[in-house]
Amino acid sequence: MALAALMVLAVVAEVAAAETREDELKRVINRNTGFAHMTRGMNMYTLIALRSCVTDADLPVLRRLLFDRDYVTQLSAAGVLADMGAGGRAALLSALPEATEYRARSTIQDALREADDPARRPLSAYPLDERERKRIRGCGAAAR
């Protein structure tokens, strides 16, 4: 009985940690979102900030964000997954069959095309000056 209770607590703690990480990544996206023509949108600052916060351990979280109700979050997750090499590409491919909504499916397909483009530059190679780099607000104290 005690072992079962510990197992349930472990699962609940894991789910809560994943939700907390998901919320943290959404905050990074929201802090680095631009506005143009009265419309909220993702830009390179968004992608660079999010990419600076994630590792391969975050692949499942980014995959879940592909299905977020917020389109900017979907685009940002897809763009970062496209930049994460084989692991990111695998996460995109595994999400494709679940993408029944046109917008999510199209976003994932676009990210896969981008990931496979031989002319694609990694996000870390995007040219920014010092002023622009300071504008990016990533995760936690390390990003400040």
List, in sequence order, every beta strand (DSSP E) within 27-83: 34-36, 39-41
What is the full per-residue pLDDT of the chain (144 aa) written as tens digits?
A: 665 555 555 444 454 555 799 999 999 999 998 776 667 888 899 999 999 999 999 999 999 999 999 999 999 999 999 999 999 999 999 999 999 999 999 999 999 999 999 999 999 999 988 888 888 878 764 443
Q: Is 138 exposed, middle or buried (0-12, 13-18, 19+ CB in 10 A)?
A: middle
d(CA 54, CA 50): 7
Q: Is position 91 within any domain?
A: yes
Rounded to 10 degrees, the C-alpha dihedral 20/24/26/30 comes to 150
Domain range for residue 92? 26-129
Q: Is position 108 within any domain?
A: yes
Q: Is position 94 within any domain?
A: yes
Q: How many domains does the chain have?
A: 1
Q: Is position 2 within any domain?
A: no
